[in-house]
Amino acid sequence: MIYLDCNATTPCDQRVIEAMLPFFAEKFGNPSSLHSIGQEAKKALETSRHTIAQCLGAEDQEIIFTSGGTEANNLAIRGSAYALWNKGNHLITSAIEHHAVLNVFKALEKEGFQVTYLPVDENGLVDPQEFKKSITPRTTLVSIMHANNETGVIEPIQEIASLAKEYGLLFHTDAVQTIGKLSFNVKEIPVDLLSASAHKFYGPKGVGFLYVKKGVRLIPQILGGPHERGKRAGTENVPLIVGMAKALEIAQANWEDEYRHVEELRNRLEQGITERIREVTVVGKNAPRLPNTSMILVKYVEGEAMLLNLDFAGICVSSGSACTSGSLEPSHVLLSCGYPHEIAHGSVRFSLGRSNTVEEIQTVLEVFPHIVEKLRNISPFGKEAI
């Protein structure tokens, strides 16, 4: 299998699995238990928190563990929107956020908040000046993703965060696609809230974290015991948290090498595809992008059909985001970039990872043009252009 779907999920690193293993059956305590078995788990929990905090330039108590990126986004947005309710009810986000952000804002709209969904340009970029113009005296929170999961396009969050600070707004970024792939220091980019998910950086699924800057108030969303300084109840998922810390540590130690590695492969892939297949578009090519992501639009054919045919050939990719794979609508991200529906339907996302090789990319470049040819042959469109 050639796996090119790392923005959907990554396999656990073997070192991560090894780090987790002792915590399932040996050091299995509940960190809330006062006896030694519990305290041993508590210690692992706090050591993991420290590791993660260090990776981000944060303080330990600024890291809140969650069940993943989705929950982190929900907690950040809903938790702070309501904490600031008395200050104002206007929130700002972008049109191209992940559904774990967008759907929270849509729910908040029904509950009485007003939300501005900032548009993006054809590269998928939010314009900081547009953001500035959308600020009102009632604005309290802005949430702009760091890198888009479908296109890999990196938003100008440094600028947006600074503007947010200037205007006294809380700034949240969904960094699920960047933490682990890039280096991120909360001292350099002044974010108040940042979401991450372990399974995007070779850690386990079902665990993530929210960075909550000291002093930022947050209404907890899951209530119960006094875990996570009252911000998130529920027995802590010690093995997975240990795994996440290990995964982040590994990713941080190697991110530059990995960056170069996947970027080289990705560029080779894009060049090969554009040379071999007519009428294809690389989305966001002229914008800052994650080094591993390539969203390709292939005219006259549909994305899922390409995906399945690639799968027949042992190549795993995605068409848009994995989350919307059940839906009939084309990607809201591509539509927001201004692509017409029929073009947006023809999307394939290649997202590379550390273990991909030149040979694998070569195979894709041999196989993919035939698949496109086969499907274009089946298609009623585009023949006249041949």
Partner 1 sequence: MYSEKVLEHLRNPRNVGKIENPDGVGKVGNPVCGDVMVMYLKIRDNIIEDAKFETFGCGAAIATSSIATELIKGKTIEEALSITNRAVADALDGLPPQKMHCSVLAEEAIRSAINDYLAKKRVENGEGRIS
CB closer to partner 1 out of 87 and 374: 374
Active site residue 12: no
Judged by CB under 8 A, the residue of 143, 173, 292, 319 near its own copies is 319
109 interface partner picked from its own copies, ligand PLP, partner 1, none, CB below 5 to 8 A per type: none
| Residue 326 within binding range of its own copies, rule CB under 8 A | yes
Residues 6 or more apart in contact with residue 69 via CB below 8 angstroms = 98, 100, 174, 176, 195, 196, 197, 200, 208
CB 322 within 8 Å of CB 272: no
| Residue 89 within binding range of its own copies, rule CB under 8 A | no
Q: For residue 131, give the nearest of 167, 178, 81 by alpha carbon.
A: 167
| Residue 326 within binding range of partner 1, rule CB under 8 A | yes
Judged by CB under 6 A, the residue of 42, 49, 78, 98 near ligand PLP is 98
3 interface partner picked from its own copies, ligand PLP, partner 1, none, CB below 5 to 8 A per type: its own copies
| Residue 208 within binding range of partner 1, rule CB under 8 A | no
For the bound state, the minimum distance from the C-beta of residue 342 to partner 1, rounded and expressed in Å, comes to 4
> Strand (E) positions, the chain?
2-3, 63-66, 90-94, 114-118, 139-143, 170-174, 193-197, 208-212, 280-282, 293-298, 315-316, 347-351
Judged by CB under 8 A, the residue of 48, 195, 318, 356 near its own copies is 318
Half-sphere CA count of 44, side-chain side, radius 13 A: 29
Pair type for strands 208-212 and 293-298:
unpaired
| Residue 119 within binding range of its own copies, rule CB under 8 A | no
Judged by CB under 6 A, the residue of 5, 40, 155, 174 near ligand PLP is 174
Residues 6 or more apart in contact with residue 133 via CB below 8 angstroms = none
CB 176 within 8 Å of CB 351: no
| Residue 333 within binding range of partner 1, rule CB under 8 A | no
Judged by CB under 8 A, the residue of 46, 168, 185, 223 near its own copies is 223
Site residues (CB under 6 A) for ligand PLP? 68-70, 73, 98, 100, 145, 149, 174, 176-177, 197, 208, 234-235, 323
